[in-house]
Chain A
Amino acid sequence: MEGFNALIVKIGRGVGGVVGTLYQAGRDSVDTVIRNVIPFMAFISFVIGLILTTGIGDWIAKGLKGSASSLPGLLLISVVCAIPLISPLLGPGAVIAQIVGTLLGVEIGKGNIPAQYSLPALFAINPQVGCDFIPVGLALGEAEPETVEIGVPAVLISRLFTGPLSVVIAYFASFGLYSQK
């Protein structure tokens, strides 16, 4: 009887633990969605609404169409985003990358930019990722102050090379992507 009781307690605890974990996981994910995802969706929806109904979309399209639908244009975007003085300014919250991504998405949806360019474009708009966050990120990794002092310029300079390079790699990886319907 003792052993049977112990078994029941063990099963009960195990099941309770798993269910509790799942429930907590659900609570966390809903929390994330309400705090981080939906506010951004609201903001992006407003931007898209503005682009689609007013004339703003047309001149953005003209500006982007030339640069975002050719390899040299995409390279130019990536180089500008990777300039060490600009990249930390473009970084915070990836807001710039998200807005530009949405603008490009609208133009791709309208057919102004070939769908194949979606992959290199994803890298072209994002060589500045995390450039605003280097000291904090290194501190999270328990880096010494001396490492931070060297690490910040090291990452920023590295992006100047790897940013455009990532666009080239993505460009060659995009062959055969959405080429036929």
Chain B
Amino acid sequence: MNLQSLILLSADVTVDKQGGFLGTLATGAEDFIKVFNKGGSVLLSLMGGILPTLIVLLTAVNALVRLIGAEKIENLGKAAARPGIQWYPVRYIILPFVAVFVLTNPMAYTMGRFLPERFKPAFYDSAVSFVHPILGIFPHANPGELFVYLGIATGIKQLGFGLGDLAVRYLLVGLVVIFIRGIVTEAITARMMKKVA
């Protein structure tokens, strides 16, 4: 089959719908190919709209992380291990943010190794909860799961709104949520550890 006949097959037919067995078959075939035509046009708009930006952004951030060196953030991990209330924001906001930004999903969780055992579940909870809120502005951190954000964002785009407002709020609320999650999980972990000991 050459290209032209493919186009003919997929083109909208304006003739009246046929009756009978063959007519039903023909209508069925048209409906069948319609699904994939629509899917194809969605795919094309996704690949044309987001993909080029994503590739360039990924390249830039990858290069930046390589030039700086991922090992530079280890000192931050050591600082976050300190006890005391003033280190909570470092442990459950700054460290997860930097870890997810620089190391990306799933290597970000390796930063937990600088923390004492009692903080590790809380840090994991905090870091893993941030791999989606970061996507609106820094999609390089978790490109495989982009559609958690992008699925909803596509709808907003269709309405003609800008995505900046949603992306920024998603990130900021995400930071608040991971902070709370870190504190709550740390408290629950402490309780359970006491019970076991």
Contact = CB atoms under 8 A, between A and B. Distances in A.
Interface of A: 18, 21-22, 24-26, 28-30, 32-33, 36-38, 40-42, 44-50, 52-54, 93-94, 97-111, 113, 115, 118-119, 121-123, 125-126, 129-130, 133-134, 136-138, 140-144, 146-147, 150-155, 157-159, 161-162, 165-166, 169-170, 173-174, 177-178, 181
Given A147-B120, A155-B121, A123 B112 contact: no
Contacts of A41: 43, 46-47, 51
Contacts of A181: 160-161
B51 A33 contact: yes
A84 B179 CA distance: 21
Given A29-B59, A118-B152, A154-B121, A141 B109 contact: yes
A118 B157 CA distance: 12
Contacts, number: 278
Chain A facing B: main interface SS? helix
Interface of B: 31, 34-40, 42-43, 46-47, 51, 54-55, 58-60, 62-63, 66-67, 106-107, 109-113, 115, 117-118, 120-125, 127-129, 131-133, 140, 143-161, 165-166, 169-170, 172-173, 176-177, 180-181, 184-185, 188-189, 192-193, 196
B43 A42 contact: yes
A11 to B, nearest CB: 17
B66 A25 contact: yes
B156 A45 contact: no
A151 B173 contact: no
Given A49-B39, A101-B148, A150-B193, A178 B124 contact: no
